[in-house]
Structure 1
């Protein structure tokens, strides 16, 4: 099992350690030094030993290259990040969910293996497992293990309801993720279970957070602010502190990615995000999304003209930048807008809001006080 990863990343070369923050940018010559010794019984070079001790407090002096360092090969594709929606199925039924449908379906295991190899060969270093709820997929443990052993730094985006299970905690202890991000939907059973429409959901998540903290797994809490829990925001922040987790707050609820309005009913009045001006996005260029059937798109929202990786392979990704650029054009009500340079959302998300006939103030400066 590797302790360190040496990898190309967006035109540079990095040293990273699974489950740990921080890394080291290295020159091509140092990367090639490691690549030439990959899989051998050669000792680690002194500069790498020093960095491992300094950055992560790890002494690798008694290990050899094949035991300690996984060297990832260069690829002609520059996709450093990807999200994998392994299964849209979910054991919650959240009122605010952006998924149009939550079906329990996906690729058979042999195709998942092929897909994960394609992600590796596309250059993906940072991989987010998402859903639906990824931990309910029958192949999650095997898929996570393969991705980790392929040299990917993994984030799991989860509702936390199955995080307490021994097979999950054991997996994450043995093969540490970069982080596990748990969505927090309230600070009490009443608010939490109301939003998720799942009795007992809050207790399950508390159990998972406790197990993760005790196992030393890096946690982040996504505080989802809605009409059910806005009055508990202080208590939600306190919960994050209690579990030693980083936290981020999200209060803007979006329509489904297919442009239907149902999730907007969960919006908490007075809690619209005042996000910064949208200044572009690398989606489709250095980042992409894959759905449960191996269809690659620019992101989770911009799903037009998907690339079928299972039939086209890596060659299909060469078309993705053009597909992404086409979706970013300001059309369908935004063309010629005098405020387009100060938009808070990207074009694919604005399109979903427009199709849902959402109020302008939920996504457009024409609906804000600044525009009046």
Structure 2
């Protein structure tokens, strides 16, 4: 169900990571969300995390929690607590969790790490990922979060990959899909930006092209992101002249990947919702 599609273990080495973090600090980045794939499996994570902390950034981790049971990882996070850790939950039992993640023993490792992180008083919230394979445990997942007294959010609406392919969509649980709130604008590329594993800055995780190479261009390159954002938000293609664009439920970059994936209109467009209603 991942919007990244096939993930590769590649990217900047530690020298590149330091350079990228320095550019971010020079640009005035206050809040840095570290995600992946799974960021905790990167051998350079501890050094990069420490350096970002030294540069004064508030850090958020998006993780599947598969490494939190390791003392070296937990000790680092206790020593230098992140502002928040958001952990994805894929089931409430070992049988379901391991099936969804296709990783035997994943549930036991996650449960152990979660328990240790809670006892360490780290600031955790949970992202309950509800799919066809684990929808029957949705109530149990909610109960688990409540038992731990942790805030949680639910994610059932999957998007196509950033490459415009549809493989995440069949994992959706139809009865758990919700209507997206109307899109009323976004400061992507203006007050925040995304950087990929190679240091290429884009307006967000979805709208990745055009981008700016922060390693070679430095902080000056970020000045171009505002113009890129304005161009990417223009209604084009099948959305040109749409009379419902004022209350559209997705931004233009997201609509583009849905269109490229040939997803049903009902997944992202009000026209499709009207057809379903009929």
**CA–CA separation in structure 2 for the residues paired with 1:227 and 1:128:** 28
Q: Is the helix fraction higher in 1 or 2?
A: 2
2:258 alignment partner in structure 1: 353
Question: Moved runs in structure 1, 4+ residues, more than 3 A?
Answer: 369-372
The answer to whether the 8 A contact 1:250-1:273 is kept is: no
Please give the secondary structure, in 2, of the residue aligned with 1:119: helix
2:96 paired with 1:191: yes
Alignment of 1:247-266 (within 5 A): 247-266=152-171
1:239 alignment partner in structure 2: 144
**CA–CA separation in structure 2 for the residues paired with 1:191 and 1:341:** 41
CA deviations over 1:231-264 (Å, ceiling 9, x no partner): 2111111111223321011110111011000011
- 1:101, CA displacement in angstroms? 2.6
CA deviations over 1:268-309 (Å, ceiling 9, x no partner): 012222121100001000000000000000011001111000
1:339 alignment partner in structure 2: 244
2:68 paired with 1:163: yes
**TM-score normalized by structure 1?**
0.73
- 1:343, CA displacement in angstroms? 1.2
The answer to whether the 8 A contact 1:209-1:243 is kept is: no
- Identify the match of residue 287 of structure 1 among 192, 197, 200: 192
**CA–CA separation in structure 2 for the residues paired with 1:141 and 1:169:** 11
Structure 1: give runs of 5+ residues left out of the alignment: 1-95
2:132 paired with 1:201: no
- 1:196, CA displacement in angstroms? 1.3
**CA–CA separation in structure 1 for the residues paired with 2:32 and 2:89:** 22
2:28 alignment partner in structure 1: 123
2:59 paired with 1:154: yes
2:231 alignment partner in structure 1: 326
2:210 paired with 1:297: no
Please give the secondary structure, in 2, of the residue aligned with 1:287: coil
1:180 alignment partner in structure 2: 85
2:17 paired with 1:112: yes
**TM-score normalized by structure 2?**
0.97
2:45 paired with 1:140: yes
- Identify the match of residue 125 of structure 2 among 215, 220, 237: 220
CA deviations over 1:187-213 (Å, ceiling 9, x no partner): 112222222111211111101101101
- 1:100, CA displacement in angstroms? 2.7
1:267 alignment partner in structure 2: 172
Of 126-135 and 188-197, the range deviating more from structure 2: 188-197
Please give the secondary structure, in 2, of the residue aligned with 1:265: helix
Please give the secondary structure, in 2, of the residue aligned with 1:318: helix
Give the aligned length. 277
1:69 alignment partner in structure 2: none
- 1:361, CA displacement in angstroms? 0.8
The answer to whether the 8 A contact 1:159-1:205 is kept is: yes
**CA–CA separation in structure 2 for the residues paired with 1:332 and 1:100:** 24
Please give the secondary structure, in 2, of the residue aligned with 1:253: coil
Q: Relative contact order (alpha carbons < 8 A, sep ≥ 6): 1 or 2 greater? A: 2
CA deviations over 1:303-349 (Å, ceiling 9, x no partner): 11110001111111010111111111111101111111111111111
Q: Is the strand fraction higher in 1 or 2?
A: 1
1:25 alignment partner in structure 2: none
